[in-house]
Chains A and B, each alone.
Chain A
Amino acid sequence: MRDARDAEDARLLENGEIALLLAGWVDVIRARCIAWMRGPVGEDVAQAVLERLWRELKAGRHGDGKLPFRVIVHSVIGWVCRGWNEAGWQETELFDLDVPVPDLADAVVMDLTLEQFVATLPPGDGEVAALLYLEGLEPAEVADRLDKQPNAVHQAAHRIKPRLREWLAA
């Protein structure tokens, strides 16, 4: 599935705005590397991921648009995180652009997006989840927007939280 974000990434790639493109992914890369590595070493791993992606972008890779850039980002994250603790791996693989990096089997997972989670919810809860998780509104703002009682929003949020966890763990 490709969405509006993929279209924006593709536009930035096409226009050669690679710094802007990669900058948009910095927070996600850092956060996922820290989660994967289970600690602050993830900061160093994230730096290596950024360096790798930057070199690839500068070398003109990924401009063909065959895969959404987010698929490439997460594939490189997986590749670097898996290799990070292997002896000697950083000395060669990471910096050799000839090494076929990503395991693009990850692309299957990439077809799942948060919007799809929202779509799995009953309509009322889905509305609340979209405003909480996609638009980042506070519960009071959600109540205001949907013309609901704050307590109704809190109850919906209470139902949504375990559903999100189940969906992510599936």
Chain B
Amino acid sequence: MKVDIETLLDELVRRHARGEPLDVQGALARAGDRADELATLIEAYLERAPRNAPSTEAMELVRSLDDPPMLRARVGKRLRVDDVVDAIVTACDVQPEKRPKVRRYYQQLEAGVLDPSRVAAKVWDAITALLERPRAALVLPRLDAPSAPAAYLRTEAPYDVQLTERLVTRASEPVDRDEVDALFLGNG
């Protein structure tokens, strides 16, 4: 069947005018081998199009932007904590009986209270592969980032993340370390 690019574009423009969600992915799939051509036209349209009134879903999404980024990424992928824990356990060959400990550490990491720099690379590999986001996009911006201007620092971070991390990790520093501790707290 011949793909009518103009009709696909027309449908999309009218959906947008009605304030309905835009199924760009679906339109590109219907365009078949002319998807590239349609994508260029959709882009050009969206650059010129009016925005619509925000939906409830859009408001919720924007409000979630203040959540820790790893939590946001996981929820965005509709994954449970246990899905990520399973991936870490498998990737790092953790013994089944130590899974609850991995889960605790992961939740601390996700909440932004565990120093991400101490977490082993293979744990990060498992997390970033599952969440499909680079590590930098999953950790809270650091207060000690050398390029951040002072004015920005005062307004951006509601609390001292680094200090919180130090307090939490010191308070929970295990006496008898095992391989799970080493994975999340490093060897130091």
Contacts and interface: CB of A to CB of B under 8 A. Distances in A.
B149 A95 contact: no
B53 A161 contact: no
A31 B24 contact: yes
Contacts, number: 165
Interface string B122-160: 000000000011111100010001011101100110000
A104 interface: no
A84 B109 CA distance: 25
Contacts of A51: 65, 69, 137
B43 A36 contact: yes
A168 interface: yes
A64 B96 CA distance: 56
Interface stretch (B3-11, B83-91, B100-108, B163-171): B3-11
Interface residues of A, number: 61
Interface string A28-52: 1011101110111010100110110
B61 A32 contact: no
Contacts of B155: 58-60
Q: Which of B13, B18, B21 has the most CB of A within 10 A?
A: B13
Given A59-B156, A98-B148, A164 B6 contact: yes
Interface of A: 3, 5, 19-20, 22-28, 30-32, 34-36, 38-40, 42, 44, 47-48, 50-51, 54-55, 58-60, 70, 74, 90-92, 94-98, 106, 109-110, 112-114, 116-117, 132-136, 157, 161-162, 164-165, 168-169
Interface of B: 5-7, 9-10, 13-19, 21-22, 24-25, 28, 35-36, 39-55, 57-59, 61-63, 65, 69, 72-73, 76, 132-137, 141, 145, 147-149, 151-152, 155-156
10 contacts: A3-B50, A5-B51, A27-B16, A28-B51, A55-B141, A59-B152, A91-B134, A132-B13, A132-B14, A136-B15
